[in-house]
Structure 1
Amino acid sequence: MSQLLEGQVALVTGAGGGIGRGIATRFAEEGAAVVLHCRTAVAAADETARRIRGLGGRALVVRADLADEDACRRTVAEAAEWGGGRLTALVNNAGVQPTQELAGMTAAQWRAVVDTNLSSVFACTQAAAEVMRGQDGGGSVTHIASIEATHPAPLHAHYCAAKAAVVMHARSAALEYGGSGIRVNTVSPGLIDREGLAQAWPEGVRRWERAVPTGRLGRPEDVGDACVFLASRLASWVTGHDLVVDGGVSARPTW
C-alpha cells in the first residue's frame, strides 16, 4: 500500500456496519491506527479489528450509543487517549436508515434519526476539534452523508433531511475550524452493496443497476477510498467539499 495515512490516529464511528468496516480497513491498510466505534455490532467490529491486527496494524474497539452527547465526547476522548493524546482523523459514519411514511411519522421517530445521524456528528466533531486544534498539523473530519441529501427517496424524509443537514454542517465547520488547521468534508455514497441486499430488495437493486453508468452497486471500499483521500496529504487544500461516490447515478437525467 502507499501508506498515505502513516502515523495517523483515526476514529471511525459506526464501524460495525459494512461501510464503516470498509472505511476502517482502508485506513489501516494505509498506515493509520484505527479506533472502531460500534453500538450493537460488537462482534463485527471485533472481527475487523482482529483482521487489522493480523496485518500488523493497530486497532481498538469502543462501544457507545452516539445518540447521547456525553457518549460522543467520551468516545472521542477514549480514542485520543489510546492514540497517545492525538487524534488526526474522524470519520462520522454512524447512522440509521429506517423507513416511515412522512404523514404518519411521529416526533419520536424523527428525533431518533436526527439524534443519531446529525446530532452525533455535531457532538463528535466538536469534541474531536478540541483535540485537533491543539496538535501540530490539525486534523481532518469526514462526515458520511448520502446522495439522498439532494435526491430524496420515499419513506426517508427524516433520513434525507438529516443527511442534507450533515452536508451543511461540514461546510459550516470547515469555515469555522479552518484557521485551526482542521479540514471538514463529506462523502455522499450512492447504493452500497451488503450481504443479502439483492435478496431483500431485488427490484431496487435491478433499478439501480439499470440506472448507474458504471453498471454496479458501490462497495464499502469505494467509500473507504474516498475517506482515505480526504484524510490524506493529497487533500490538504480540500475542505467544505461534498465528494459524491455513486458510480455516476446522480448524473443520469430524471426526465
Structure 2
Amino acid sequence: MTHLLDGQTALVTGASGGIGRAIARRLAEEGAAVALHCRTAATAAHETAAAIGDRATVVQGDLRDEQTCHRIVREAAAWGGGRLTALVNNAAVQPVQSLPGMTVADWRTVVDTNLTSVFACTQAAAELMRAQPGGGTITHIASIEATHPAPGHAHYSASKAAVVMHARAAALEYGPSGIRVNTVSPGLIDREGLEEAWPEGVRGWQKAAPTGRLGSPEDVANAVVFLLSPLASWISGHNLVVDGGVSARPTW
C-alpha cells in the first residue's frame, strides 16, 4: 500500500503537543519518517515518537537561538540518512498582553519564537534541500490572526503576518532550487479545557463559522499533508486558510 509521503523525512518544530503532535502523527501515517522537535516538553515529545514507532525521533532545543535552529535541522537530516525533504515550522507562543503595557522584551520573546526561528530553520533546511535531488518543501503554521488581529495579540498577530510574507518571499527565492514554501493559517483550534476556560469565545466561533464547529488539530495536519505531497507539486507561496469558513463571513 502506498502513501502520500512515502520516502520523505520531515522535521516538525513544536511537536510536543496540540497541532504539532497531530502533524507529526499524520505525516507518519502517510509514510514519512518524522523528527519531532521540542523545547522543554521532552516527555510529551518522546511519548508521541514512541506511539509512532521506529520512524520517529526527538530533537530538542530553544529555537530562539540561531545555532540551535541549524543544529536541530542537521540532527534531523542525519537521522534521516542525510536527507531532509520537509520542514514544518510549527513552534510558536501566544501570550495575551495589551499593547500599551507590552515591553520590548515581551515583543522579542514572541517575535523571536514565532518568526525569527522560522527564518533560521528555513535557511538551514533550504541549504540542505538545495544540495539534494528533488529539493523539498517548507511549510509554516501561521494563523488567521495574520489578517484578523485580536485584542491582546498584537505581537502574535504581527509575527504571524510576517510568517505569511516570509513564506511568499522564500517561495520566490528558493523555488528555482526545487523548494516549495507555503503557509497554513488555522482558525480557532479546539484543545482540552478550551470550552470551560473561554465559553463565550467558543460559542461565538461556533455561531460565526459556516461549518458550525471549532477546528481540530487533525484539520490542520491534513492541510500540511496535502502541501507536502505530490498533490501540491505546483503550489508554492500560498497561504492555505483552515478556519471552517470564518474568514468568508462579512464584517458588516
TM over 0.5: yes
Q: Normalised by the size of structure 1, how large is the TM-score?
A: 0.97
Q: Does 1:109 align with 2:109?
A: no
Secondary structure of the 1:243 match is: strand
Gaps of 5+ in 1: none
The one-letter code sitting in structure 2 at the alignment partner of 1:88 is T
Secondary structure of the 1:142 match is: strand
Q: Does 1:30 align with 2:30?
A: yes
The one-letter code sitting in structure 2 at the alignment partner of 1:126 is Q
Q: Give the CA deviation at 1:137.
A: 0.6
Question: How many correspondences in the alignment?
Answer: 252
Question: Which deviates the most, 195-204 or 174-183?
Answer: 195-204
Gaps of 5+ in 2: none
Q: Does 1:100 align with 2:121?
A: no
Mapping of residues 197-236 of structure 1, within 5 Å: 197-236=194-233
Q: Deviation string for 1:230-255 (max 9, x for gaps)? A: 00111110000000000001011111
Partner of residue 67, structure 1 = 64
Q: Normalised by the size of structure 2, how large is the TM-score?
A: 0.99
Distance in 1, matches of 2:61 and 2:110, equals 16
Q: Deviation string for 1:73-116 (max 9, x for gaps)? A: 00100000000110000000000000110011000000000000
Distance in 1, matches of 2:241 and 2:103, equals 31
Distance in 2, matches of 1:52 and 1:98, equals 30
Distance in 2, matches of 1:167 and 1:36, equals 23
Secondary structure of the 2:151 match is: coil
The one-letter code sitting in structure 1 at the alignment partner of 2:68 is A
Secondary structure of the 1:103 match is: coil
The one-letter code sitting in structure 1 at the alignment partner of 2:39 is R
Distance in 2, matches of 1:132 and 1:213, equals 39
Distance in 2, matches of 1:228 and 1:34, equals 12
The one-letter code sitting in structure 1 at the alignment partner of 2:141 is I
Q: Does 1:178 align with 2:175?
A: yes
Mapping of residues 107-146 of structure 1, within 5 Å: 107-146=104-143
Distance in 1, matches of 2:79 and 2:25, equals 18
Distance in 1, matches of 2:133 and 2:189, equals 35
Distance in 2, matches of 1:122 and 1:217, equals 30
Distance in 2, matches of 1:210 and 1:42, equals 37
Q: Does 1:82 align with 2:79?
A: yes
Partner of residue 196, structure 1 = 193
Q: Deviation string for 1:204-241 (max 9, x for gaps)? A: 11111111111111111110000001001111100000
Distance in 2, matches of 1:214 and 1:138, equals 37
Q: Give the CA deviation at 1:5.
A: 0.2
The one-letter code sitting in structure 2 at the alignment partner of 1:185 is N
Distance in 2, matches of 1:217 and 1:41, equals 26
The one-letter code sitting in structure 2 at the alignment partner of 1:5 is L
Distance in 2, matches of 1:186 and 1:41, equals 25
Q: Give the CA deviation at 1:2.
A: 5.5
The one-letter code sitting in structure 2 at the alignment partner of 1:25 is R
Distance in 1, matches of 2:2 and 2:45, equals 24
Q: Deviation string for 1:176-198 (max 9, x for gaps)? A: 00000000000000001111111
Q: Identity rate of aligned residues, in percent?
A: 77
